Structure formats: C-alpha cells, structure tokens
Amino acid sequence: MNFSNIFPITLALAPLALGVVWKFSNGLSTTHKSIGLTAIGALAGGLIYMRSTLEIEPSILFLASAILLSGFCVIFSQEDKQQTSAIYAPIMIVLGLSLGVLLNQGIVSRIFLGGLLGYIGISQNREQQNSFRTKIIFLHISLAIILSLGSVFIGDSLQMFASLFLAVTFLPLAPFHLPFVGTIKDAKETLSSFWIVVWLIIGLAELRALYSSLSTQMLFTLSLLALVSATYASLASLGQKFNSLFVASATVAHVALVWGLLEVFPSFPKWGIPFGITLAFVMGGVSLAFSFVRQRYGWRTLGKLPGLALPMPRFGVAMVLLVSFALFLPLFPIFSGLMVMPTIVIHDVEIVRISFLFLVVWLGGGWYFLQMLHQTAFGEARSDVPYFDLRLTEFVAVSALLLGAAYSGMIY
C-alpha cells in the first residue's frame, strides 16, 4: 500500500480516533472545542495537500470540504458548557467515517460506509422507541450495511442496484426517506444540522459514482419517483408541527429536483453536486438556527414562540436570509444545468413532467417556508419569555453556511 492510499485513510482515522476517545472519557468543553476546531483546520490542510499532490477528483474534495465546513460551524457555535461536551464526540466520529467514505475507494470506502451506517443504526436504536416505524428504519439500515459491504464482491448489475439503493437512501426519496427523517428528528441539539449536510454529501458521492451506469428506463423511473416524493414531502412539510420534521420534509422535497433533472441535464457532477451542497448548507443553516432557540427554551413546536425577529434581531436576520435563499433553491439546478447542456432536446411529455416537479417544489416551498417564517420571526412576541439573541459565534456559524451555499450555488 503506497502513500497515496495511506494518507486518505489516515485523514479519516484521525478524527474517528479522537471522537472515540472523547466518547469514553470526560473532559472540559473548552478543551474539546479547541481541539476539535484545530483538528478540522488540520484536516482542511490535508485536503489542500491532496489536491496539490495526489490525483483525486476536485468534486470529491469539494464534497469533503462541505462536511468540514459544517462540522466547523457546529463546533464553533457551541457554548462552553459541560453538557455540550457530548456533542463533540459524535461530530468527530461521523466526520472521520464520512471522510473515509469520500476519500477512499473500493473495499476501504465501503468499510467506512458500513461503519457510518452502523453508527446511525446504533443511534436510532438508542433514541427511538420500539415502534413499527423504528423496526422498518432498522431493517433499512441493516440492508444498506449488507449492500455496502457486499457490493464489492458481487457482479456489476447487482453492484449497480446496491449503489442505487444506497443513493436513494442518502439522497432521500420517498419511501426510502425514513432513516434520514428519523436521524434528523432524534439528533441532539445542533447535531441535526451536521447530519443533514453529511447525509446529502454521502448521497451525492454515491450518485456521482452511479450516474454513468443509469439507463434511460431507470432515469425515467427515478424521475417519476422524484415527482411522487416531492409531492408527498411538500404536503408533509405543510402539516408538520415540529421544527426538525419540517426541515427534514423540506429537504426531501428539494432533493427530488436532483433525481428529477438527471434525465434532462448531462454532466451531473457539474450541476448536481453544487446544487446538492447548496441545498445541504441552506437546510443545515435552518436546522442550526432552530437548534439555538431550542437550546434556550426547549422549543420544538412551530408557532410556540412567534415574533422572534424583534427581541432577537440576529436570529430574525438569519431566518430571513435563510428563507430568502431557500425560496430560490429550485432555480439553481435549472440555471447550472442549462449552462452545461449543449442543446435542448426535450419531448413534450418530459417538459410537462419536469415543469410539474419544478412547480411542486417551488410553489410548495414558497408556501411552507413563508408560513414557517411567519410562525417564528414575525408576529407578536410573548411577554412571558426572557429572550436572548443569538451569540456572535452562533450568528457567524449560520452566516458561514449561507456563504458556503452562495459559493456553491453561484460561483463553483
């Protein structure tokens, strides 16, 4: 095994080992935060070194950088309290496993993916009750682990279907969205934001590797499934009372655009990956802003704390910017897809289907995002609640995700 193979494994194992040590040891929150931020800085330096020295796809490094930025924002925004120490270990563990998936190939990458899925399954089993939904999620994750580890040893056709199952799990389409929704719902505090980014990034990497193997018939089937998923998730977002489930449903609705446009626009890495990262940052930013309020007041229900923009102006500015960006999310893949499309040759039936998908996501998103903004930022603030605005580190963390979304969607 040469250096070009050892270095990516080392980059993945370093934060993983650090997270495992933190998991089974006690320490000061301030110390964990400083070490975590330093580790992420060192990992960023490692990615820069890989880009200049080793032969690796720029899109893979872009995906890995997105996970690093998300982890940095979550750690940087943590207040120095003893109870926040429990947040740092999962971040480093998931960060290490995710980098292992992205930066390695073959069996090594699949081992890291199996480890990530196993960690998700263990977390689900601990957090959720023994309900029928939980059992379905656990079976789904178990099957994903088997396929991730076994895909290296099976034939090409079966390997393609295994990769497709993993792709629709991590770039969630209904009815394969339950593990994603369950993970976001039960994630502690700010971890939900990090999980959104990690989940979509792994899905983008899976789809990138799979894209060239998809047949015309499979693309057509996926576009129909995307339309169904977008409609279902948009309606689910309108009916959600809990902020975590709202963000998860809105994410599933917008992810459908990636799948629905595969049949139309070529060169998925050039338009799909930037859009997917933009989507992950925006939804991660919304989840992060919600988690800050939830840490203060235990608030999980939309509408329970209206009028936050006046007593919490930083929060109000952050939510207005996030929702404004989210309202235009469906336009990004259209524009970037047209830029890489040499000619437009689309049948009338495809135009109708794609237009309907676009309208479902855009109009649905416009409705439920504006409704969410009205329920949180605007209205009359409660007189019985002592309001505390976002700290500077929290506002910077959300702003960094917004800047990352703007760079990915408009510049990259």
**Residue % of the chain over a pLDDT of 70:** 91
Question: What is the four-CA torsion angle of 224, 227, 231, 234, rounded to 10 degrees?
Answer: 140
Distance CA 400, CA 392 (A): 12
The verdict on pTM exceeding 0.85 is yes
The amino acid sitting at 333 is: P
Q: What is the pLDDT of residue 337?
A: 65
Distance CA 149, CA 398 (A): 36
Q: What is the pLDDT of residue 284?
A: 96
pLDDT bucket at 354, cuts 50 / 70 / 90: confident
> Which stretch of 40-44, 109-113, 209-213 has the lowest confidence by average pLDDT?
209-213
Judge whether 358 lies within some domain.
Answer: yes
Query: Could you list the residue range(s) of the whole structural domain that residue 248 is in?
Result: 214-412
Q: What is the pLDDT of residue 362?
A: 86
Judge whether 220 lies within some domain.
Answer: yes
Judge whether 155 lies within some domain.
Answer: no
Judge whether 21 lies within some domain.
Answer: no
Q: What is the pLDDT of residue 340?
A: 62
Q: What is the pLDDT of residue 3?
A: 64
Judge whether 175 lies within some domain.
Answer: no
Q: How many domains does the chain have?
A: 1
Judge whether 272 lies within some domain.
Answer: yes
Residue with more model confidence, 267 or 284 = 284
Judge whether 258 lies within some domain.
Answer: yes
Judge whether 275 lies within some domain.
Answer: yes
